[in-house]
Amino acid sequence: MDRLLYEKLSNERNPKYNIITDIVERDGRKVVIKRPYDEQGIAHIKRVFDSYRGLQDALQGSDFCVNESSFVDDRIESEFLEGEHLTSADAQQFIEAVKNAYMKNAKEFAISDGFREVFGDVDLPRGVLAANYLDVDLIFDNVIKTAKGWEIIDYEWTFDFLVPINYVFYRASKFSDLPEHLVDIPDAEREAYQKMEDHFQSKYIFRDVKNLHELREHANSRSKTGADFAIASRDYQIKQLQELIEAKDVHIRNIEAVNAELRTIYENTVNTRGYKTLENIRAFKSFLTGKDTPARQAKRAAKEEAKRVKAAAKEAKRRAAQGEPQPSVAVHLHLFYVDLLPEFVSYFANIPFKFDLYISCQEDADVNAIKTGLKELKQVQKIDIRNLPNRGRDLAPLYVKFSPEILNHDYFLHIHSKKSLYSGEEKGGWRRFSLELLLGSPDKINQIFDLFKNSNAGLIYPDIQEEVPTIAYSWLKNAGIAKELFDEFDLGEMPSVFNYPAGSFFWARTDALRPLFEKGYTYEDFPREQGQTDGTFAHALERILPFVSRKQGYDDFILYLDSEDTVKNKSLRPFYNTFKVDKELLAMKLGGYDVVSFDIFDTLITRTIFKPDDVFNLISRIILEKYGKKVDFLKIRKNAEAAATAQFGPMTTLDKIYVEVAKDRTLGDFAMDIKKLEVDIETRLCVPRKDMVDVFNAVKSMGRHVILVSDMYLNRAQVVGLLHKCGIGGYDELFISCEVGARKDDGSMWNMLLTGINPSTFIHVGDNFCSDSQILMDKGVASHIVLNPMAMLELSDFDYLKEYASKSIANSLVLGQVINGGIFNSPFAFDEKGGLHFKNNYDFGYSTMGPLMAGFVQWLVNKNASEKESLLLLSREGYMLEQLIKEYCNQKGEALPNIHYFLTSRRACAVPALENDEDIRELLSQKYQGSFSNLLNERFGIELHEDDEDKQFDYETDTDELMKAIQPYKEEIFERSKTEKNAYMNYASEFLATSSDLAVVDVGFSGTIQYFLMKLTGRDIAGHYLALHSNKPERIGGRADAIYTITDPKDIPNSKLLKYQLFLESALSAPFGQLINFTMENGVPTPHFKDDDYVSDDVKMLQSGILDYVKQYASASRNLSDGLLADAKLVEDLFYDIIADGTLTDEIVSTLTVEDGYSRGGVQKFDVKTGGWVVK
């Protein structure tokens, strides 16, 4: 019999949707029952249950599941769930879960009759993605965390017609704790969703709702279903809550009565004749009502100003009393707009020490009036105001006219009165933001000077402010001038994205920028002001400041709102908005336009080489090998392209470039062969940016007009060939600069392409901040920047890897594959704050273990080409190695070595080789941690005696102690050794007889199997390893070598490869168990394996990533035959540093385990938090 615990009447709705929700106790468990309020609600209950079944199907394979329900006699019965509801801490995971659940079957939204009935006739932008069976009430209170996953407990408002997916996020941010800043919904959609919500609530669900306030109260009350269930589990809590509510109602009524009485007193007071004559009537009324007035604001500001001045004076006295030397400080203000002087003076008053003030102003400015405006400054010593030409913006006065004065100070501040930034409109928010961070208070200024004094600061400046566009943090149209400056000041390689004082507000140590002040710039170095917004010497000079400072040996410090937000040398904050856009959001954004164009290179496809110019360095090597000509092909090819461009402009093609190449006397005879080679190499290096191809395909599926556009010298057939190789097709138009005679980078391509297109219906996607965004922005045309792999590397923690690329073409190939083909192949790799996590096992294997195994296989094949050994690939790693070697040789076009997959293990070959106590001691000398019984079984194949204690040993256990423990078992051990030796030798004999030169191949790490095979067979067997740290074969005259060799045991703990060696063991799993031993069965040696033969799909995906990396690397280096080995340190850094940076998720590491009973009694797993392997 059901015992009613709780009942909720939802009878304020349209009668068709009124229901009753009961919680009852039945046979010791709680059951939730939803039933119609009356006969009018029966159809609604049936529809809800139909939606439940549709929702179950829609959520298959997602993080969500639906509370188990059944339909009984016109009512729905569900299990009562207890658990935690979602909170704001789950917000990001919630967003991802919704996307994963619905995006896979998403379609472009199309309005239906059912939609109109529920949500009204709304006008949504094109391209909005929608789904069937979308639970629009998927708010945090309606989801409970259980062992099954995230269980949805209220699915009443789920509909079988298409509903926009973003509507779920809109409602979740409105009615639960989903932070709005995490939800990137365009304003046009938000307006539509608000109309949908209004219709849904007032025209569909509820009746007689008089105003919006009531509507929201209804909405809020109906969003608490989950909370009601949780409360209902305890009857006494319900009663207590009801009593509290009643008490609060009484309290509220009392407060309202008091307020009414006070209001009466107030009205009577202000209506008296005496009160009305008071001069400060407004202030008094504002005081009573809590409102602000200009007079009160001015009074408060004056107090704050006096307080700041007093604090600055106090700080100056404190420093003087403590004997601290006063810093020698200059302040340069470029005062183009004199009306802003009071604003600057108010901030200068915060400087807590003496300073000299230098002001540059327009030629017609009133210097005396400016001096008068400065009279309230107490700390200023010298004032120097100069009327100067309007040339070179704020920087020419600084570096031309005030350079000698600045050099006489230790530190200086540079600011100016610019009212607009990157636009023609006044935007004071940026200026005040910058002033607040640099001069906001004496404390802030003291903190800045502490950075100068204690933290090697050279340059200190504000981080991005919302009025500054992300593209400003690149060279834009200033790359050419910046390159000249980089060369002039020897600043190294130019990055593509970087931090700098955008807008030129900064504090600096004078020595940090000394090279600029001592350069001797004149006004002639700066162009006349003609309304330029970019592309001038001043714009380039503004951007190189951090590089000059760091060349001088100093660090940058970048300020944000709080002192704890200050970062050194790099801030990712300018790119947060870019990081927030994922693949799905970009597809939805692009779907809102009729015409979408995509850049090709580094947007849709990329090359697996570090820099495009490295293609020409690669060709130089091939020319040397094939033709015996040592040439600087990079220089020849660049000069040829420049010559062809000078003659043909944008119509320059590869054919025309090679007409110029053929003029070189060394290359002339085979220039056309090299041209063919260049196209072939471009094709082999070319890979898709897979997530961007998905976006491209999504836009196509929406029926948009898709255009591909590129500034490129390859012709149509060549470009189409690259696109086809990368799986890109079905576009509507293809514009290539050399074919149409127009380019993106000078704007002519856009002028031509946009002819006949309404600009408001067009958007372009590309990676170049200037040609793909800035030029279009200047035309008022929409664009979207996706970060290319190089920019992403520069923003990551791995930008130091760039130093390897210039050392050899092999390094460029290895690094280029990892960066462009692996970890940064997707422009969406970063999370919202710039964190980097692998999305899947494939990318993890490709990016970290791929380079290791490619280098190992290449080394083996190169060695074997001269040594001609028969290679025994030791199980189980040898199973994967065999595939890697075969694919490498196939792609490289090289002869396959004589390889054999050889069944073995430390256990299988060591036991047959045991002949005396020293052999046992040798086997026990390998460190072990675990039980005695496991040691006996794993290493010797025998069982613990029934009456013996199963002791525990650890890595510190002495070998003598182990020998003592093993003493009673020696006879069994030697007996088993004899039996197993016969079987194992029968198996091994077929390999021993086929070749005089044998070598074992294994990942590593001490040559134990090689050692025991040599003892067992009496043969001289070589060994080739990825890594070797304890060369056991050497003790008995064996030869063993490795790419990574550690000779000093003290260096073992510092080996990056050895720290993470278990990743390799997990990755190189084979689809059969580890070999235990051989026995003779009917005269045939028969292997016996452990039952660890399962290779999960996740591990297979990881192996696929490794294999694809090796294949691509072999293909890229196909024309080279002289080894071309990458720097082993680079490969090791790629393996270790990327993993150690926290790129692995719990989901990935959960798929990787190593059972290592031989050395440890247990299963080892990687702990993401500690960054190490632990026994579970």
- CATH code at position 788: 3.40.50.1000
- DSSP label at residue 689: -
Lowest pLDDT segment from 213-217, 485-489, 507-511: 213-217
Q: What does the pLDDT look like over 437-472, one tens digit per residue?
A: 999 999 999 999 999 999 999 999 999 998 899 999
Q: Which range, 268-282, 768-782, 949-963, is most confident?
A: 768-782
Lowest pLDDT segment from 153-157, 653-657, 1130-1134: 153-157
Q: What does the pLDDT look like over 465-504, one tens digit per residue?
A: 988 999 999 999 999 999 999 999 999 999 999 999 999 9
Question: In terms of domains, do 257 and 349 share one?
Answer: no
- DSSP label at residue 1046: -
pLDDT at 311 (0 to 100): 58
Percentage of residues of the chain with pLDDT beyond 70: 89
Q: For residue 965, is it within any domain?
A: no
pLDDT band at 1176 (very low <50, low <70, confident <90, very high): confident
528: left (phi over 0), alpha (psi -120 to 50) or beta: beta
Checking if the pLDDT of 208 tops 50, the result is no
Q: Which range, 286-290, 429-433, 869-873, is most confident?
A: 869-873
**What does the alpha-carbon distance between residue 1119 and residue 685 come to, in Å, rounded to a whole number?**
13
Mean pLDDT of 140-156: 89
Q: What does the pLDDT look like over 1026-1054, one tens digit per residue?
A: 999 988 899 999 999 999 999 898 999 99
Mean pLDDT of 967-978: 94
For 443, the enclosing helix (H) or strand (E) is helix 442-454
pLDDT at 955 (0 to 100): 86
Checking if the pLDDT of 327 tops 50, the result is yes
**What does the alpha-carbon distance between residue 312 and residue 293 come to, in Å, rounded to a whole number?**
29
pLDDT at 953 (0 to 100): 92
**What does the alpha-carbon distance between residue 935 and residue 953 come to, in Å, rounded to a whole number?**
9
Checking if the pLDDT of 41 tops 90, the result is no
3-class state of residue 108 by DSSP: strand
Q: Report yes or no: 500 and 472 within 8 Å, Cβ to Cβ.
A: no
pLDDT band at 209 (very low <50, low <70, confident <90, very high): very low
Checking if the pLDDT of 250 tops 70, the result is no
Task: Find the helix packing angle between 442-454 and 428-439, rounded to 10°.
Answer: 60
DSSP output for 133-165? SEETT--GGGEEEETTEEEE---TTEESS-EEH
**Residue 930: other Cβ atoms inside 10 A:** 19
What are the backbone dihedrals phi and psi of residue 67, each rounded to the nearest 5 degrees, phi first? Answer: -50, 125
Question: In terms of domains, do 893 and 1020 share one?
Answer: yes
Angle at 787 between CA 782 and CA 788, to 5 degrees: 125
For 335, the enclosing helix (H) or strand (E) is strand 329-335
**Residue 865: other Cβ atoms inside 10 A:** 13
**Furthest C-alpha separation in the chain:** 124
**What does the alpha-carbon distance between residue 1079 and residue 376 come to, in Å, rounded to a whole number?**
99
Q: For residue 737, is it within any domain?
A: yes
Last residue of a domain, one of 527, 548, 578: 578
User: Per the structure block, which two tokens stand in for 41?
Assistant: 């609600």
Higher pLDDT, 127 or 684: 684
**What does the alpha-carbon distance between residue 893 and residue 885 come to, in Å, rounded to a whole number?**
12
DSSP output for 229-290? HHHHT-HHHHHHHHHHHHHHHHHHHHHHHHHHHHHHHHHHHHTSHHHHT-TTHHHHHHHHHT
Lowest pLDDT segment from 274-283, 293-302, 574-583, 1011-1020: 274-283
Q: What does the pLDDT look like over 1065-1079, one tens digit per residue?
A: 999 999 888 999 999
Mean pLDDT of 538-550: 97
User: Per the structure block, which two tokens stand in for 886?
Assistant: 């075969």
Question: In terms of domains, do 86 and 191 share one?
Answer: yes
Q: Report yes or no: 407 and 510 within 8 Å, Cβ to Cβ.
A: yes
User: Per the structure block, which two tokens stand in for 780?
Assistant: 């008022």
Q: What does the pLDDT look like over 685-733, one tens digit per residue?
A: 999 999 999 999 999 999 999 999 999 999 999 999 999 999 999 999 9
Q: For residue 961, is it within any domain?
A: no
Nearest to 575 by CA among 474, 492, 682: 474
Q: For residue 523, is it within any domain?
A: yes
* Contacts by 190-199, CB closer than 8 A, 24 or more apart: 192/122, 192/123, 192/124, 193/164, 193/166, 193/167, 195/120, 195/122, 196/119, 196/120, 196/122, 196/167, 197/170, 197/171, 198/120, 199/118, 199/119, 199/120, 199/122
Question: In terms of domains, do 167 and 116 share one?
Answer: yes
pLDDT band at 832 (very low <50, low <70, confident <90, very high): very high
> Domain holding 567: CATH number?
3.90.550.10
What are the backbone dihedrals phi and psi of residue 140, each rounded to the nearest 5 degrees, phi first? Answer: -60, -35
3-class state of residue 929 by DSSP: strand
**Residue 311: other Cβ atoms inside 10 A:** 16
Mean pLDDT of 768-787: 96
Question: In terms of domains, do 673 and 786 share one?
Answer: yes
Q: For residue 800, is it within any domain?
A: no
Q: Report yes or no: 1124 and 1134 within 8 Å, Cβ to Cβ.
A: no
What are the backbone dihedrals phi and psi of residue 825, each rounded to the nearest 5 degrees, phi first? Answer: -60, -35
Q: What does the pLDDT look like over 382-410, one tens digit per residue?
A: 999 999 999 998 999 999 999 999 999 99
User: Per the structure block, which two tokens stand in for 51?
Assistant: 């939606």
Q: For residue 822, is it within any domain?
A: no
Question: In terms of domains, do 1120 and 1012 share one?
Answer: yes
Q: What does the pLDDT look like over 336-373, one tens digit per residue?
A: 999 999 999 999 999 999 999 999 999 999 999 999 99
User: Per the structure block, which two tokens stand in for 860?
Assistant: 């083996």
pLDDT band at 184 (very low <50, low <70, confident <90, very high): confident
Beta-carbon contacts of 1002 under 8 Å, excluding residues fewer than 6 positions away, are: 874, 877, 878, 1009, 1010, 1023, 1025, 1026
pLDDT at 238 (0 to 100): 45
pLDDT at 966 (0 to 100): 94
Question: In terms of domains, do 144 and 264 share one?
Answer: no
Mean pLDDT of 73-85: 88
pLDDT at 198 (0 to 100): 87
Beta-carbon contacts of 834 under 8 Å, excluding residues fewer than 6 positions away, are: 572, 575, 576, 579, 795
Checking if the pLDDT of 79 tops 90, the result is no
User: Per the structure block, which two tokens stand in for 171?
Assistant: 């409602």
Last residue of a domain, one of 794, 823, 851: 794
Question: In terms of domains, do 150 and 19 share one?
Answer: yes
Q: Is 143 exposed, middle or buried (0-12, 13-18, 19+ CB in 10 A)?
A: buried
Is the preceding peptide bond at 1166 cis, omega within 30 degrees of 0? no
For 49, the enclosing helix (H) or strand (E) is helix 42-58
Percentage of residues of the chain with pLDDT beyond 90: 68
Nearest to 823 by CA among 795, 864, 789, 797: 789
Question: In terms of domains, do 550 and 599 share one?
Answer: no
Question: In terms of domains, do 599 and 467 share one?
Answer: no
Checking if the pLDDT of 523 tops 70, the result is yes
**What does the alpha-carbon distance between residue 817 and residue 1113 come to, in Å, rounded to a whole number?**
8
Provide the domain limits for residue 111.
3-233
Is the preceding peptide bond at 1005 cis, omega within 30 degrees of 0? yes
Question: In terms of domains, do 316 and 263 share one?
Answer: no
Q: For residue 275, is it within any domain?
A: yes
**What does the alpha-carbon distance between residue 395 and residue 539 come to, in Å, rounded to a whole number?**
9
Number of separate domains in the chain:
5
pLDDT band at 322 (very low <50, low <70, confident <90, very high): low
**What does the alpha-carbon distance between residue 862 and residue 894 come to, in Å, rounded to a whole number?**
10
Checking if the pLDDT of 847 tops 70, the result is yes
pLDDT at 443 (0 to 100): 95
Q: For residue 1017, is it within any domain?
A: yes
User: Per the structure block, which two tokens stand in for 1061?
Assistant: 């060696």
pLDDT at 992 (0 to 100): 81
Rg of the Cα atoms in the chain: 37
Q: How far is CA 914 from CA 924, 1007, 1019, 1034, in A?
A: 12, 16, 16, 18
Last residue of a domain, one of 531, 552, 578: 578
Q: Which amino acid is at 526?
A: F
Nearest to 6 by CA among 35, 32, 41: 32
Angle at 363 between CA 357 and CA 367, to 5 degrees: 45
Question: In terms of domains, do 990 and 880 share one?
Answer: yes
Mean pLDDT of 836-850: 97
